[in-house]
Amino acid sequence: NPKGSLKTTPNPIHRKLTMPKLNLAHIHLHQQPDGTREICVAPEYLAHGTQAAAYYQARDTTPVALRITTAFLPFEQRQPENQSAENLNFAALAHCPALQRLSFSEYRARQYSNLAALYALRHLTHLTLPHQSQPKIDLAQFPQLRELSCAGKGNAHNLSQAASLQRLYLFSFKDKDLSALGSLKNLQQLTLIRPAIETLNGLTELLQLETLDIAYARKLHDISALQQCPWLKSVALPAKFQG
């Protein structure tokens, strides 16, 4: 491999692979810092993005992430701020049933259609959701989900049933404590940004938790539950609790 290129391992499934014909003006390929191959695709070309994801997943074992966004397009073609599209159609996800990483947090839509294609992604391990979802995304449909990033619980349904979660990033979590997360027994990392929590009640249920990061929690006043969680390895709290 040339210097700086990504070392990949051939997929054990031997078959002739053909790179799909893609509209590269609406797809952007790049590698994330952890080596993941990310495919950014405009929503109207989602079928091209899923075909590319299926191709790369079959070619080698490098992780593939699909990101639905217009952020990589020329400025005049991007989705305007504070403006939502009428619909985001997930039908094209059927082209890549083995997809493991998906993000559509940057594309705002008033509604979703063909959710069955989304819920057919039974191997999904990483999911990033937008701040508003109609209808809510049912997390119970993803039995292998290990990492989730979303805004509070307002755009997700059955968060308590996402039992495989190991890393959870919640923005604007609206509960007063952490009791609603107590069933996430495999959770190892929890990040809360601008939560409405007042206490850390419920934290003692998260016996596998190693890292807790809470920022901009203006209402938080009681952190006594931390004294009952000696298994925590790293805790970051708002400045008012430091020193």
Q: Three-state SS string across 222-241, please? A: ECHHHHHCCCCCEEECCHHH
Q: If you average pLDDT over every residue of the chain, what do you get? A: 88
- Asked whether residue 120 carries a pLDDT value surpassing 90, the answer given is yes
Is the Cα torsion angle 5, 11, 16, 18 positive or negative in sign?
Answer: negative
Alpha-carbon torsion, ordered 136, 160, 65, 84, to 10 deg = 20
Is the Cα torsion angle 225, 227, 229, 235 positive or negative in sign?
Answer: positive
Lowest mean pLDDT among 39-53, 75-89, 169-183: 75-89
Lowest mean pLDDT among 8-17, 24-33, 56-65: 8-17
Instruction: Give the integer Cα–Cα distance in Å for 183 and 1.
Output: 45
Instruction: Give the integer Cα–Cα distance in Å for 29 and 44.
Output: 17
| pLDDT attached to residue 132 | 64
| pLDDT attached to residue 14 | 40
| pLDDT attached to residue 8 | 52
- Asked whether residue 163 carries a pLDDT value surpassing 70, the answer given is yes
Instruction: Give the integer Cα–Cα distance in Å for 124 and 30.
Output: 20
- Write out pLDDT tens, residues 180-227: 999 999 999 999 999 999 999 999 999 999 999 999 999 999 999 999
CB neighbour list of residue 21: distance below 8 Å, 6 or more residues apart: none
End-to-end CA separation in angstroms for the chain: 50
Question: Three-class SS of residue 77?
Answer: helix
pTM of the model: 0.87
182 CB-contact burial (10 Å; exposed 0-12 / middle 13-18 / buried 19+)? middle
| pLDDT attached to residue 12 | 46
| pLDDT attached to residue 7 | 53
Written out in words, the top-level CATH class of the domain with range 152-243 is alpha beta
* Sequential DSSP letters for 185-205: TT--EEEEES---SB-TTGGG
| pLDDT attached to residue 243 | 65
Whether residue 177 contacts residue 201, with contact meaning beta carbons closer than 8 Å, is answered with yes
Domains of the chain, residue spans: 22-124, 152-243
Average pLDDT value for residue range 53-78 = 91
